[in-house]
Structure 1
Amino acid sequence: MTISMPAPDPHILGRRADIVRAMQAIVPGEGVVSHPDGLRPFETDALTAYRQMPLAAVLPETVAQVSQILAWCHAHDVKVVPRGAGTSLSGGALPLADGILLGLSRMNRIIEIDYANRVAVVQPGVTNLAITKAVEAQGFYYAPDPSSQIACSIGGNVAENSGGVHCLKYGLTTNNVLGVELVLMTGEIIRLGGRHLDAADLDLLGVVTGSEGLLGVVTEVTVRILPKPLQARAMLIGFPSIETAGRCVADVIGAGIIPAGMEMMDRAAVGAAEAFVKVGYPLDVEALLIVEIDGVDAECDHLAAEISAIATANCAVSLQVSQDETQRLAFWAGRKAAFPAVGRLAPDYYCMDGTIPRRHLPHVLRRISELAAAHGLAVANVFHAGDGNLHPLILYDANQPGELDRAEKLGNEILRLCVEVGGVLTGEHGVGIEKRDLMPEMFSETDLAHQQRVKCAFDPALRLNPGKVFPTLHRCAELGRMHVHKGQVPFPELPRF
C-alpha cells in the first residue's frame, strides 16, 4: 500500500518562524511546541508505520483560543490537523510538515453533569472512561467503550464515530452524542444539537460525527449517560472452530436476541490474552465468544438459557456464566487487553478495521486465514462479532525487509473482501490515510464528489486535515462551487520507518 500526503509548501515552511510567533501570541506559555525534540510525540499516532513532523504543535486551553488559531490560519493559508489523544488507528491525526497540529488534550474539563436530563457536557480532551468515572457513583455510565477507553478522548471518539464492546445494544458514538460545539476553519463557533433527543432540522450533527476532523474542530460535546443495568452477566463460550462460533453469532441475532456485547477471539488471541491477564480463558478452543446480557434477573436467566441452547446447537465445547461482578469483569479483562497482549506474538502488528454482514462471518474468517497463509503471515482475530466489525491483527516484524509491505497488501485484500461481501471499509477506526486509497473500492466517483461537496461547504479552502479520507482532493470550484482557491499539490511518498 502506497501512503502519501500533500507535499509541503515551501512558502509556508519559509514562514515557520512567523507562524510560531503568531501562535505564541494566541496561546502563551507552554502552549506552542516548536522544537524538534518536543514535536517527536506528535509525529505519529497509533498507526505507527508512518511518521511526519508537524510545523508546530499548538495546545489551546479555551474555545476562544481555538477560534483565534483557526481564524489566523484561515487568513494566512496555513493547514491545520486536529488531534485528540493520538490513539487513532487509521492515521487520521498524522501531521503535515507545513501545517499546525492542533492538540486538544488540555481542554479536559467536565463542564456539567445533568442527571435530570441524563447528559454530561464535556470538553474534547476528556477521556472516554473519565465520563463513566464521573457519573458512576450516581448509578450512571457512558455506553460506548473502545478498548482504548482509558486513553482515547471524547473529541477523537466523535471524529471517528468510535464503537466498543457494548455498542451492539447501546450504539456507537453517533447514537450517544446529543450535541457539539464546533469551530469552523474561519474561526466561527457554531452549535449543533443540544440536550434534546432529536433535532428538527438537517442532521448536521450526524454529518460531523465521524467526519475525521475534515469539517471543523469539536470543542464541546454533550453526551447521553445511561442508568447502569440492574444485572449484567458475561458468558464465555468456547468453540472447536471459527466457523461454528460465527454461526452461533448469526443464530443468536437471528433469534431476536440483542446482547449488550458479543465479542470473539481466535485461538492465537485467546492464548495471548490469557498469558497477559490470567483470567482463566480455555486454551483448547479455536474460538472464544464473550457474550454479555443485562437487565433484571429474570431476563438475564432467560437470555442465558436461550444463548446456551443456541451455542450447544453450534457445537460449543465449553460454557461459563459469570457468578458475580468480579468474575464478569475478569471475563472482559482479557478482551479489553487483547490488543496489547497480541504484542507477545510478534514484534509488530497491523490492526485492520472492516465491517461485514454477520451471515458472512464464517466465510470471511476462513478467507482471512487463506489470504494470510498466501502472504506468509499470521493473523490474530479479535472483533465485535455481534455487529460484524472485524479487527484482524496482522502479525509481522518491521525489522525484516518487506514484511511491512506484505502486511499492508494483506490488509488491503482483507478490506476488499469486506466490501465484496457487502460490508464497508471501516466500522469505527475511520478512513484517515490508511484506507483513503481504497475508497474507490466502495464509492463511485459521483459518490466521492458529493462527499467532497460537504467538505467544501464547511471548509472551502481545504485547509482542515487535507490528505485524509479522499484519494483525490479536488478544488471546490471543480465540484460546481463558486470558490476558486489554490489547487491541491502533488502527493509524494510520506517518510516511513
Structure 2
Amino acid sequence: MPHTPGPTAAVISRLQSALPHAAVITDPTRLATYDCDGLLHYRVTPAVVVLATDAEQVQLAVRCCSDAGVPFVARGSGTGLSGGALPHADGVLIVMSGFRTIHEVSADDQRAVVDPGVINLQVSQAAAPVGYYYAPDPSSQQICTIGGNVAENSGGAHCLKYGFTANHVLSIDVITPDGEAVTLGQRAPDAPGYDVMGAFVGSEGTLGIATSVTVRLLRRPASVHTLLAGFRSTDEAGAAVSAVIGAGILPAAIEMMDALAIEAAEAAVACNYPAGAGAVLVVELDGPDAEVEHEASQVERLCRDNGAFEIRVAADDAERQAIWRGRKSAFAAVGRISPDYIVQDGVIPRTALSEVLHEMKQLADERGIRVANVFHAGDGNLHPLVLFDETIPGQGELAEELSGAILDLCLSHGGSITGEHGVGFDKAPHMPKMFSADDLDTMQLVRCAFDPGGISNPGKIYPTPRLCGEVPGKRKAAHPLQQTGQADIF
C-alpha cells in the first residue's frame, strides 16, 4: 500500500477492521480505476475506496473521516462531466453504485423509494407496468444514478416541460458530514418549514451523502407525438424554436443538433437524419389526445414557416426511438470524428441562440478548433462539444481556452456557466464571474452549517473555499463574548 498521511492511514486501518475485506480497496492498480469521473481531463487517485452497500457502511465511513478530519467524496456511476466526483488524494472515495434496490413503486400516491445507486432509466422501467414513469432523463440515463442526479440536480431533454431533479424529489435520507443520519423532506408534498432538501439537491456532494431517495412518478401521457425537422441552418432551426414557444406551446422537449453533431451521430448509430441538414430539431409533445393533435399541427406549420425542408413524424414507439437515437448518442458519438473532446455546459436566453452560435463559431475559427452543438434548445441549455487532438502540440490548451471563452460568452448574454452538469472542480474558477464575493460567502456559510470541517467533497464549486470559522467580508476584531469563551464562531 502506498504511503499515506497519518490521519488517512488511521482511517484506512479503521475501515479495514470494520468493513468486509472486499469493500475496502487500497491496491494502487484498482484505485486508478476511480481516478476521475466522466471528465477525463482531471485525474486524482484516492487514498482508499470504499464500496458501500448499505447506509450503515456509509455512516461508518463518514464517521471515521469526521473523527480524523479526513476528506471524503461520494461517487455513483462516474458519468459526471464537471469533475464533481474527482477524488481527494488523501481522502476516502465512497462508491455508492452498490446501492441498487428499488424498494417501492406506489401508483396510489405516485411515489417510488429507491437506493442512490439505482440507474435513472430503471425507475421508469419499474414504474411502467402500473402506467407511470420518472420524468428527468439525462442523456446518460442508461447508466447515471439517482444519487448522482440528486447531487447535480440533473435535467435532460424533457426538463423543458417537467423540470429538473429538484422538481421530482420528495425526501432524501442523508448521512451528514459528521456521520449523523437525517431525513430531509417528507413523502407528502410541500413539507413545512425551510426547504433544507432544496439546498441539498444540486449541492454536488458538499453537504453529505444521500442513502435513499423518494421520487415523484408521473402518469404516462395518453398521447406522445415525436417529430424530426430538418433545416438548412441553425438560424432557421432557432427561429422555429422561438416561434413554437412564442405561440404558447410547451413541448415536452425541443432538442437541436448542428451539422457536425449530425455527422457524428450518423457515423456512430446511422440515425438517418435528413440529408443536407445544417440543423435538426427533435420536438416531442405529450398530453391528452386532442391537445397533442392540435399542437402537433401548429408545430409542423411553424417549422415549415421557418424553413424546415423535411419533417418526419414517428408513427409508433419504434420510430420514436429511432428519432431519439441520434440525439441520445450525440455525446459519445463525437468520438467517431475526433480523438478528444470537451463537453461544455452553459445556458443562454433562448432569444440569443442564433447570435451566440455565430459568436461561438467565430471563437472556434480563431483557434482552429471545431465545435459540435447539441443542446436543449427549448430552455437555452447549450452543450457545445469542443473537438481537439491531444497529440497535436498546443491543441489541448487551445480547446481548454475555447471552452472557457464559451462560458464567458454565455455570461455576456445574461446566461449561466452551467445548466445541469454542475460546477464541480472544472468550473469553480468561473464562479466569481457569475457571483459576487458576498454571494459566494453566503453560499459557503450554508455549506459550513452542514460541514463545519470542510471534509465533504472539498475543492468543488468554490474557487477559494472559506474556512467555516471565518467571518464573511473584512476581518473584524473578535466579539467580547468570543474573547471570553462564551460564544463561538460557526
- Which whole-Å deviations, capped at 9, do the CAs of 1:200-224 have from their partners, x for residues lacking one? 1111111100000001111110001
Structure 1 CA distance for aligned equivalents of residues 393 and 162 of structure 2: 44
In 1: Cα distance, 2:457 partner to 2:391 partner: 30
Of 22, 27, 34, the residue aligned with 2:19 is 27
| Cα 1:114–1:330 shift into 2, 3 Å | same
Q: Does 1:281 align with 2:304?
A: no
Q: Secondary structure at the match of 2:469?
A: helix
Cα separation, partners in 2 of 1:12 and 1:279, compared to 1, 3 Å: closer
Q: 1:483 to 1:217 in 2, by over 3 A?
A: farther
Q: Does 1:252 align with 2:244?
A: yes
Q: Distance in 1 between matches of 2:77 and 2:136?
A: 17
- Aligned counterpart, 2:143: 151
Q: For 2:13 and 2:240, how far apart are their aligned partners in 1?
A: 60
Residue in 2 aligned with 1:138? Answer: 130
> Does 2:67 align with 1:53?
no
Q: Which amino acid aligns with 1:459?
A: D
What is the CA distance between 1:484 and its match in structure 2? 6.8
Tell whether 2:338 aligns with 1:357: no
Residues 268-323 of structure 1: CA deviation (Å, up to 9, x unaligned): 11122123222321130111000001123322221111111211221111111111
What SS does structure 2 have at the residue aligned with 1:252? helix
- Which residue number corresponds to residue 495 of structure 1? none
Write the distance in 2 (CA, Å) between the matches of 1:122 and 1:25: 29
Q: Distance in 1 between matches of 2:198 and 2:134?
A: 19
| Alignment length (residue pairs) | 476
Secondary structure at the aligned position of 2:445 is classed as: helix
**Which of 442, 457, 468 is equivalent to 1:465?**
457
Q: What residue is the counterpart of 1:214 in the other structure?
A: 206
Q: Per the alignment, do residues 360 and 177 of structure 1 end up closer, same or farther by CA in structure 2, a change over 3 Å counting? A: same
Q: Is the 8 A contact 2:110 2:216 kept in 1?
A: yes
Q: Which shifted more, 470-479 or 294-303?
A: 294-303
Counterpart contact for 2:348–2:380, Cα < 8 Å:
yes
Equivalent of 1:439 in 408, 423, 431: 431
Map Cα deviations across residues 420-458 of structure 1 (whole Å, 9 max, x no partner). 111111000000011100001100000000000001000
Distance 2:93 2:105 in 1: 30
Give the aligned residue type for 1:465: N
- TM-superposed CA distance for 1:478, in Å, is 1.3
* Structure 1 position 329 matched with structure 2 position 337: no
Amino acid at match of 2:91: G
RMSD: 1.6
Superposed, which structure 2 residues align to 1:3-14 within 5 Å?
Answer: 13-14=5-6
Tell me, in whole angstroms, the C-alpha distance in 1 between the residues paired with 2:146 and 2:269.
Answer: 27
Three-state SS of the structure 1 residue aligned to 2:22 is coil
What SS is found at the alignment partner of 2:285? strand
Distance (Å, rounded) in 2 between the aligned partners of 1:27 and 1:171:
39
SS of equivalent to 2:5: helix
Matching of residue 193 in structure 1 with residue 195 in structure 2: no
- TM-score of the superposition, structure 1-length normalised? 0.93
TM-score (structure 2 length as normaliser): 0.95
Shift of 1:16: 4.4
User: Is 1:295 the equivalent of 2:305?
Assistant: no
For residues 22 and 484 of structure 1, the distance between their equivalents in structure 2, rounded to whole angstroms, comes to 31
Q: Which residue of 2 aligns with 1:163?
A: 155
Greater RCO, CA 8 A, separation 6+:
1
Matched, 1:111 2:111: no
SS at match of 1:218: strand
Asked if the contact 1:117/1:195 (under 8 Å) is kept, the reply is: no
Which of the residues 413, 416, 437 maps onto 1:421? Answer: 413
2: CA distance, partners of 1:164 / 1:32: 34
The equivalent residue for 1:390 is 382
Query: C-alpha deviations, 1:110-139, integer Å up to 9, x for none?
Result: 111122111100110001011111111221
2:334 counterpart of 1:342: yes
Q: Distance in 2 between matches of 1:340 and 1:65?
A: 34
Structure 1's 91 and 483: CA in aligned 2 closer, same or farther, altered over 3 A?
farther
Shift of 1:395: 0.3
Matching of residue 124 in structure 1 with residue 116 in structure 2:
yes
| Structure 2 counterpart of 1:127, one-letter code | I
Which amino acid counterpart does residue 280 of structure 1 have in structure 2?
Answer: N
Q: Which residue of 2 aligns with 1:456?
A: 448
Q: Name the residue aligned to 1:476.
A: 468
Check the 8 A contact 1:460/1:483 in 2, yes or no: no
Corresponding residue for residue 81 of structure 1: 73
Distance 1:483 1:98 in 2: 29
Name stretches of at least 5 consecutive residues in structure 2 with no aligned partner.
Answer: 473-481
Identity of aligned residues (%): 48
- The more displaced of 65-74 and 153-162 is 65-74
Partner of 2:478 in structure 1? none
1:407 corresponds, among 394, 399, 403, to 399
Say whether the 8 Å CA contact 1:270–1:283 is kept in structure 2.
no
Among residues 319, 332, 349, which one is paired with 2:311 in the alignment?
A: 319
Deviation of 1:394 (Å): 0.3
Distance in 2 separating the partners of 1:22 and 1:195: 36
Whole-angstrom distance in 1 between the partners of 2:63 and 2:464: 26
- What is residue 491 of structure 1 aligned with on the other side? none
Whole-Å Cα distance in 2 between the matches of residues 32 and 164 of structure 1?
Answer: 34
Unaligned runs of 5+ in 1: 1-9, 486-497
Q: The residue matched to 1:379 in structure 2 has which SS?
A: strand
Q: Counterpart of 1:7? A: none
CA contact (8 A) 2:8 2:70 kept: no
1:371 aligned to 2:371? no
Shift of 1:26: 2.9
Equivalent pair of 1:12/1:78 in contact (CA under 8 Å): no
Q: Compared with structure 1, are the counterparts of its residues 380 and 370 closer, same or farther at alpha carbon in structure 2 (3 Å cutoff)?
A: same
Matched with 2:91 is 99
